[in-house]
Amino acid sequence: MLNPTALKCLHHRRRQLAQQIDQPVLLWSGVSVARNFAANCFPFRASSHFLYFAGLPLQNAVIGLEAGQLTLFWDEPSPEVALWHGPAWSRSALAAQIGAEAHAPLSAVPHWAKQVASLPASTQACRQQQSEWLGRTVLENRSCEPASESARSDLQLAQAMVQLRLQQDDFAQDQLQQAAQITVAAHLQGMKTTLSCPSEAALRAEIESVMMAHQCPTAYASIVTVHGEILHNDVYPHPLEPGDLLLVDAGAETPLGWAADVTRTWPVSGCFSSTQRDLYDIVLAAHDACIAQIAPGLEYRDLHLLAAQIIAAGLVDVGILKGCPDELVERDAYALFFPHGIGHLLGLDVHDMEDLGDLAGYALGRQRCDRMGLRYLRLDRPLQSHMLVTIEPGFYQIPALLNQPNLREQYRDCVNWERLAHFRDVRGIRIEDDVLVTPEGGQVLTSALPTQAAAVEACVQASKS
């Protein structure tokens, strides 16, 4: 299942880790989680840190990493399991598959090494096993100063993971390209079937069925909604009405665990209204400008502020905001309509390494600021070659935000509320692509999916002819 390039990358990752940390490392893959009773589980998802070094999503496995060598700890299933779940690999065959130098049953884990570093296992059952076998709890809160030797080594491991996983190697890029391609195909299917879909739920089914046909789960709960102003909307109760804008934020995850994260917004009817198109073009201008700027060394936070600037200027042009764009950015007035960050890291996790808090997203010594325009920025570090980021500006009319009396007061002089009312047929717009940082600039993995308003319209209308 793993090709030679993948195996080469896995070996390289293991050696790289050894250069970052002296101690032996143990990582748990996790186990399936019960849905409504023990035998009825959610689909298994291996821990991303485990996947990064082991390559395959093995259930109930532990890996030991030391001096670039990998030991696989895993128990072969019982004969009864074979009756219900089919023939299983032997442990030695599995070890060979992932290029492990050694293998042993799980019972060998507690005796494998002293003073190992680890990261919290992803399920409660595994965390308990981890505590028992390591004789200690594993650091979960990385915001405070580590109080013990073991907590220090866990933190060092977390920092090493960030250094490694920030940059996508060939295996990762191959997987991320696959995830992007399948996601593009899924969105295209969504666009092309919109005119015949009666509801959000039916459209979601069209989109996710493309991923499913490629054996890919969704990397996160898809957003398929005519209420794009609800940022994390994962229910699908509404019919599709001709005047609506549809916001689709959906991404595939490859069977080996690598994610895509793509958003498009299109008119249910196949034609943007003039108000919808005006705001769409502003969001698209921000999207395009940010991607054009991407290069190693650039501060990601500056991309956020660039998007803010373009959105502020655009909203002044159409009469929604009043004043000088620079000042509107300074005062965070744009964030009334674009309250989230311009994007985030992407990799094995859709918000890559978010399990480590802001350790991956924020450069050492930096932390979230509480300015309205920046508090939801998930990434604040200089871009590096082979980093994968999303660029996802948006425009929303969120009642919970726009109706806050203190905000209305604070931005009384900035917003033309009567003018805004003309744009009531725009509840939410977002355009999001996955961009690999390369020495030559940003490489958009999802560029096959149209962004221009006219191209999007043509795609939605294609099935009519």
Q: How near is the Cβ of 113 to a second copy at its closest, in Å?
A: 26
Q: Which is nearer to a second copy, 39 or 144 (CB)?
A: 39
CB 178 within 8 A of CB 258: yes
User: Both tokens of residue 439?
Assistant: 């020495």
| Nearer to a second copy among residue 261 and residue 380 (C-beta) | 261
Nearest to 189 by CA among 463, 422, 420: 463
Give least dist CB 125 to a second copy, A: 7
For the CB of residue 333, give the shortest distance to a second copy in the complex, in Å.
17
Nearest residue (CB) to a second copy, 278 versus 380:
380
Nearer to a second copy, 43 or 297 (CB): 43
Closest to a second copy by CB, 232 vs 412, is: 232
Distance CA 263, CA 275 (A): 20
Q: Whose Cβ is closer to a second copy: residue 174's or residue 261's? A: 261
Decide whether 81 or 292 has the Cβ nearer to a second copy: 81
Q: How far is the CB of 461 from a second copy (least distance, A)?
A: 22
For a second copy, which is the closer residue by CB, 291 or 348? 348
Q: Which is nearer to a second copy, 190 or 267 (CB)?
A: 190
Least separation in angstroms between residue 35's CB and a second copy is 5
- State the nearest-atom distance from the C-beta of 165 to a second copy, in Å: 13
Question: In Å, how far are 53, 165, 300 from 171, measured between CA atoms?
Answer: 11, 12, 25
Q: How far is the CB of 126 from a second copy (least distance, A)?
A: 11
Residue 384 Cβ, how far from a second copy at the closest point, in Å? 22
Q: Which residues bind a second copy (CB under 8 A)?
A: 33-43, 45, 47-48, 79, 82-87, 122, 124-125, 199, 201-202, 204-206, 208-210, 212-215, 220-221, 227, 229-234, 236-237, 339, 348-351, 354-355, 398-401, 404
**Residue 347 near residue 391, CB atoms below 8 Å:** no
Q: How far is the CB of 360 from a second copy (least distance, A)?
A: 11
Q: How far is the CB of 85 from a second copy (least distance, A)?
A: 6
The CA distance from 425 to 265, in Å, is 13
Q: Using the minimum distance from each CB to a second copy, give the nearer residue, 328 or 336.
A: 336
